[in-house]
Amino acid sequence: MPMRGNKAAVAKVLNATWQRCRVHLMRNVLAHAGKSGRRVVSAFIATAFAQDDAEAARAQWRRVADQLRPKHPKLSAFLDNAETDVLAYMRFPPAHRTKLHSTNPIERLNGEIKRRPEAVGIFLNEDAIVSLVGAILLEQNDEWTVQRALYMTLETIAPIGDDPAVSLPAFAS
């Protein structure tokens, strides 16, 4: 199936895969499962997320989709299409997976960037908007730096970088 839009741009420009948020996927899945099947379907899918590596997760995902296929063919087709995107985070080291499987942190940041200028209302000029957004980003950087257990740090990302010529800036602890 050909990639379109954002997924194609990410693959081409950034040489990266598209990561679908597990939380949002589960909302979509449970809508397909119907009220009576939600608990079972949720438990089945959780078994794929609980695997130790990408290969095991993909194999379990396939088993789950195939088990659901007779009673829930639309749901199985949905799982078939979502597999690559939702399991993309499994290719990262285990310590990073819990930080990558959800898009909630970036969505919170985007929401804050939207909310704050709306609260201000009127800006004198474009520089004032840029200053406000810059301040929001600095605040978020500080939060991510202080809450090191919740977010990936430069130190944990460096070993998985694909370009040894690129070095990370010095970071004061």
- For residue 23, what pLDDT band results from cuts at 50, 70 and 90? confident
The pLDDT, as a whole number, for residue 148 is 62
User: Is residue 25 within 8 Å of residue 82, measured between CB atoms?
Assistant: yes
| pTM of structure | 0.64
- For residue 11, what pLDDT band results from cuts at 50, 70 and 90? low
CA 118 vs CA 115, 132, 140, 142: distances in Å:
5, 11, 18, 23
Q: What is the DSSP letter of 16?
A: -
- Mean pLDDT is lowest, of 43-47, 127-131, 163-167, for 163-167
Query: Mean per-residue pLDDT for 114-120?
Result: 87
